[in-house]
Amino acid sequence: MTQYYPPKFVTGTDALIELLLAQAELDRSRNLNTAGFVSGYRGSPLARLDQTLWQNNKKLAQANIHFQPAINEDLAATAIYGTQKVESDPDRNVTGVFGMWYGKGPGVDRSGDALRHGNAYGSSPNGGVLVILGDDHGCVSSSMSHQSDLALMAWSMPILHPASVSDYLDVGLWGWAASRVSGAWIGFKAISEVVESSAIRERKPFPQYEIPQVDPGPGGLHWRWPDLPGPQIEQRLSYKLKAVQDFARLNPIDQLIAPCSHPRALLVTVGKAHRDVLEALRAGGLPPSELAKHGIALVHVRLVYPLSPLLSEIASQVTDIFVIEEKNSVVEMLLARHLINFPQHINLIGKHNHLGQKLVPTDTELRPSRLAPLLAGWLKKFNLFLSVPLEWSTQTALHDITLPKRTPYFCAGCPHSTSTRLPEGSQAQVGIGCHIMAAWMDRNTGYGLTPMGAEGADWVGHSLFINRSHVFQNLGDGTYFHSGHLAIRQAVAAGSHITYKLLFNEAVAMTGGQPLDGNITITQIASLMLAEGVKYVAIVTDEPDKYKGKNSLPARVNAYQRDFLEDIQKRFRDTDGVTVIIYDQACATELRRKRKRGLVPKTTRRAVINEFVCEGCGDCQIQSNCFAVIPTETSLGTKRAIDQHVCNSDLSCLKGFCPSFITIENTELRQDTSKTLPQEELDKLLNKLPQPALNSTDIPYEILFVGVGGTGIITAGHLLGIAAEIENCAVSLLDFTGFAQKGGEAITHIRFSRDVNKLHQVRIDRGRANLVLAADLVAATGQNSLEVMSKTGTNCVLNTHKTQIGTMLRDPMLKLDHTKMLDTLHQHCRTLRSVDTEQIAADLVGDRNQTNIVLIGYAWQLGQIPIKLSSIERAIQTMSHPIDNIANNAQRAFHLGRIAAEQPELLDNFLHVKPKQTIETLDDLILHRYRLLIDYQNEKYALRYLSRVAQVQQTAQQIDAEDLTKSIAENLFKLMAYKDEYEVARLYVKTGFFDKLRSQFDNAGKIRFHLSLPFFNRKDPRTGERGKQEYGAWIIPVFRFLAACKLFRGTIFDIFGYQEERKQERSLLLEYERLIDFLIEKLNRNNLAICQQIATLPDQVRGFGHVKQKTIKNMQERKAALLKELEKTV
């Protein structure tokens, strides 16, 4: 009786695990006592394979499958090589070992020697080896695109190319069987668009293979010893390839999709390109059966090399062949070689047509939309008409380059935000790791990317022929352990003048936070570096005290607090030879995960910004480069706040030269339950909701889910995949993360169909999205999102919550044009519905992580998600851990989204509506500022303001220049209400700031103020600027006293007014009042625009101390230039 593998929803990495377990089960069914062995090195698109192996450790152990992650790819390949010796070892305890090696494209390149040796010396008859090739054809998350086929061909290693996740099981099992028969290692292409996808694997039978009689050659095909070097090894390779072909003859792996009794033409599709072709044919109304009726055979090639007997046989019967394969030609080249001596002429096209013109592109990934016109042109020759959808036949509109982009960025509290900084005048080189993002952060870092582990070796050649003598080289701890230590050894051997910054954060964060593949401590690294001949080693850390006592360091190595990083960099820069700075600080994201799991103590110290004191200068963002410091809108403009839900308590933001920062110890965030919607009330609201009519999935229904990496986009997409599986609806997903988990763009393509035979490729093609779930406006207006939309067929549901982009951390004055982005969305979709799902999740669920589930619920209620309610509810239960409250929160979030879509007014009473921060009329604005100035000083001072504004308003009304009046009203207030010591004190004790703290935090302990007090704080000798110190709660009474002393402001008793900074602030006010008089005198319709710009100049003046001085200088320079322009208009 035939056994079957049941259908199952699996990811690409899941499918590889199932492949291992299936091989073990297959061997057991044949009474073979085998073991399995897996080794390799992580890297996108196989970044999470090791984590998935660890998660399935119990199942693997029960199947006698051993997973041993390697420190690099070539050592992993050599370990796999060792497993094939077992069968011939008299001390063996198993019959044989089937091996699986994995690595991304660059890992294949660097392991060429090991893989070549392994394949040449061979597999064992009851073992076999699969070589999983993580090829990134589209350069989605690699230094360059990779196609390993040609390298494997040079090593005479056979290559399999599965087209989908559903192919993995039968293709992989076939590969091990072929390896056992032939003695060859078998390459298995796991390209990004397949291995990073998910789908429901169809029901598949256990394979039954026929074993052919093969010619073993003079010495046999498999591993043996003695087998000394000689030409016999190379000769053996040809016998191995022939054995693979013999195995394929009896056990065809290629598929004849459209059989013809007498074919006249042949359409060849290779690997993943097969799915693209099928979709192009489906969209054009031409099924494969129609091709067969016209004498065109369609062969799906899965054995790329050597040429399969099935393909060879059919190719010899036809007059026309069209080969469609992604990247460089392999099958086309092999076919040409096979057919070159045939007596009949065969028209073979693929990468070029019969005139030598380019046809199927080699430098990009294939899409149905790119192939449809090419297929249509070829099929005309056979009187077949393929309709090309309109959205595919028109040129895609170019992305508006003025729109902001959501590029990856360091996580909140990331150690690289500090560790990759450089002294002025220095340069650094990037390397493999998260720290590569410093290359787009204006840090004078870049200058080319070397292979992993070669960081700094390029400087050996570069430095000899330039005038610059020194460079810093960033090197991650994962790369150091992988092979980077050899580059340091090379630098020492060459006598290079280079400083390695070894960034030790205890995790391989770029690929998912895996630990290093071995144990090594900083003390060991420091000792090794000195032993290698490095001149000096220093450790910089946020916890220098931990190196005292038992963690003592080797002689000549000291640990420094991270504030001294620049000093050490300058010293090492001026020291000849190789020096090493080990920057020790835990990965912020991994630290957060460990805190959540209770592996390390939770942080009890939180930073808070007093928005009343904050000037909005952004120095805290510049100093910390931290995503947890966010812009917040107030009635006085954009200020800064700490996003407590994101903050990892790195506290670098405290370096911002600003008195608005406090820290609170021994505290937790308080959950505001004052207006929480009770469950019974929610149930009543749900009972009133109508059931929407769901869209049909008779033809593929396609959803793009797009948002910010690290916010659960991929998880939410997989929720819909599981829901589809529950109701037996075919589904596929394709996840694009790359660096996305670092705050970049995260995208999931989701395709549904009741007929699995209509669900071909996993990526949504140009203009084909039925729905875009836009969890972030910036990401939704990126090229990857806009290109799948169409004005006639795409609905969009948008989360309106605003999330900053990385560029705003480096340019605090940057503001996103949300109106322009919304207009762009409107131009690209049929309908657009908007809702602040983050507010609903935060206020009514108490969990901002449920934002995307709210969005799903909203879209479902609109009838735009074609999955039943019960299936989604069951999927939520399936994905949730039984011991936490996530399932209840997610169910609640989903249903709240439904209510928000149908009757949003029902939720209004339960949402924590923030006070309106914008002042709509000019009169209201003037009155608001007038009252603030009374609080600031007194009514007389405020009347001075009113008088000036009234003077402007009277003149401006004559030419309808209300905006000019508004600008002067805002900026005159700004200069009049300069924040001196009296005002900072008042803004702490007279604005309700401490009441707000009590409402935000539970059990607040010690409160510390971070201030630079005049007359007390000395200049920092390292920066030349005044520093900040911590002050306890005892300073609050001092604030109250100072606030009461505001009446001395501007008098002879104003002791603070004698400071140069205060004199300058008063001078700026007087200058601006004179400028107002000047503008009123010169104002006319022709120069209104320039006058408006001049009037807003004080808005550039922000911050305190030296930060403010810089903005004043920039403002004065801009003022001079504008006044020159104004003179030309008078």
Residue 1036 in any domain: the answer is yes
- Is 410 a member of any domain? no
Q: What is the pLDDT of residue 213?
A: 95
618: nearest Cα among 653, 662, 569: 653
Distance (Å, whole) CA 1029 – CA 1008: 10
Q: Can you read off the two tokens belonging to residue 237?
A: 């390779």
Co-location of 457 and 534 in the same domain:
yes
Residue 1072 lies inside a defined structural domain of this protein? yes
| CA gap 468, 445 in Å, rounded | 15
Amino acid, single-letter form, for residue 757: N
Last residue of a domain, one of 910, 933, 968: 910
Pair (569, 611) in one structural domain = no
The whole-number pLDDT of residue 740 equals 47
Supply the CATH number for residue 68's domain: 3.40.50.970
Is the pLDDT assigned to residue 883 strictly greater than 50? Answer: no
Instruction: Judge if 228 and 288 occupy the same domain.
Output: no
Whether 395 is covered by a domain: the verdict is no
**According to the model, what pLDDT value does residue 18 have?**
95
406 within a domain of the structure (yes/no): no
Among the listed ranges 182-196, 215-229, 310-324, which one has the minimum average pLDDT value? Answer: 215-229
Please indicate, yes or no, whether residues 500 and 610 belong to a single structural domain of this protein. Answer: no
Specify whether 889 is located in the same domain as 988: no
CA–centroid distance for 231 within its chain: 48
pLDDT tens, position by position, 716-735 = 999 999 999 999 999 999 99
- Domain end position, chosen among 250, 274, 290: 250
- In this predicted structure, the answer to whether residue 626 has a pLDDT above a threshold of 90 is yes
State CA 122 to chain mean position distance: 40
* Percent of the chain whose pLDDT exceeds 70: 96
Regarding whether 486 and 373 lie in a shared domain, the answer is: no
Cα–Cα distance between 138 and 1046 in angstroms, integer?
64
Q: Domain check: are 879 and 816 in the same one?
A: yes
Calculate ∠ Cα 308-155-270, nearest 5°.
Answer: 35
Please give the angle made by the CA atoms of 297, 303 and 309, to the nearest 5 degrees.
60
In this structure, the answer to whether residues 825 and 870 fall within a common structural domain is yes
Assess if residue 133 is contained within a domain. yes
Q: Is 534 helix (H, G, I), strand (E, B) or coil?
A: coil
824-853 exposure pattern, b = at least 16 Cβ within 10 A, e = fewer: bbeebbeebeebbbbbbbbbbbebbbbbbb
Q: Tell me: do 585 and 605 sit in the same domain.
A: no
pLDDT score, position 669:
83
- For residues 487 and 607, state if they share a domain: no
**Region 687-699 average pLDDT:** 92
Residue 908 has pLDDT above 90, yes or no: no
Residue 283 belongs to domain with CATH number: 3.40.50.920
Element (H, E) at 173: helix 168-182
Give the count of beta carbons closer than 10 Å to the beta carbon of residue 77: 32
| Residue 399 banded pLDDT, cuts 50, 70, 90 | low
Tokens coding 966: 């508004």
pLDDT at 397: 55
Residue 30 has what pLDDT? 94
- pLDDT on residue 634: 93
Q: List the domain range (segments joined by +) for residue 330.
A: 255-389
| pLDDT at residue number 631 | 94
End-to-end CA distance of the chain: 98
Q: What is the pLDDT of residues 523-582, one digit of tens each?
A: 999 999 999 999 999 999 998 988 887 667 898 899 999 999 999 999 999 999 999 999
pLDDT for 344 equals: 85
Query: β-strands 96-104, 34-40: how paired?
Result: parallel
Containing 324, the helix (H) or strand (E) segment is strand 320-324
User: What are 42-71's pLDDT values in tens digits?
Assistant: 988 998 999 999 999 999 999 999 999 999
Confidence of residue 675 (pLDDT cuts 50, 70, 90): low
For residues 811-828, average pLDDT: 92
At 914 the pLDDT is 67
Burial class of 761 by CB neighbour count within 10 A (0 to 12, 13 to 18, 19+): buried
Query: Are 64 and 109 contained in the same domain?
Result: yes
Q: Residue 226: is the preceding peptide bond cis (ω within 30°)?
A: yes
Beta strands in 41-178, from DSSP E residues, in sequence order? 65-67, 96-104, 129-134, 159-160
* Average pLDDT over the chain, rounded to an integer: 92
How far is Cα of residue 1046 from the mean position of the Cα atoms in its chain?
50
pLDDT at position 206 is: 87
| Domain C-terminal end among 863, 888, 910 | 910
Q: What is the pLDDT of residue 916?
A: 62
Q: pLDDT per residue over 775-786, tens digit each?
A: 999 999 999 999
Asked whether the predicted pLDDT for residue 269 surpasses 70, the reply is yes
Q: Within a 10 A sphere around the Cβ of 1077, how many other Cβ atoms?
A: 13
* 473 φ, ψ (degrees, to nearest 5): -125, 115
The interaxial angle of helices 1060-1082 and 939-956, nearest 10 deg, is 30
Q: Note the pLDDT of residue 454.
A: 94
Evaluate whether 115 touches 155 at the Cβ level (below 8 Å).
Answer: yes
Unique residue bearing structure tokens 């090419």 = 374
Encode pLDDT of 274-312 as tens digits.
999 999 999 999 999 999 999 999 999 999 999 999 999
- Exposed e or buried b for every residue in 623-658, given b needs 16+ CB within 10 A? bbbbbbbbbbeeebeebbbbbeebbbbbbbbbbbbb
Give me the number of domains the chain comprises: 6
CATH number for the domain that contains residue 638: 3.30.70.20
Are both 226 and 261 inside the same structural domain? no
Average pLDDT over residues 1023-1034: 88
Which pLDDT score, from 0 to 100, does residue 123 have? Answer: 97
User: Contact 392/766 with Cβ under 8 angstroms?
Assistant: yes
For residue range 1032-1054, list pLDDT tens digits in order.
999 999 999 999 999 999 999 99
399 is a domain residue? no
Question: What is this structure's pTM?
Answer: 0.93
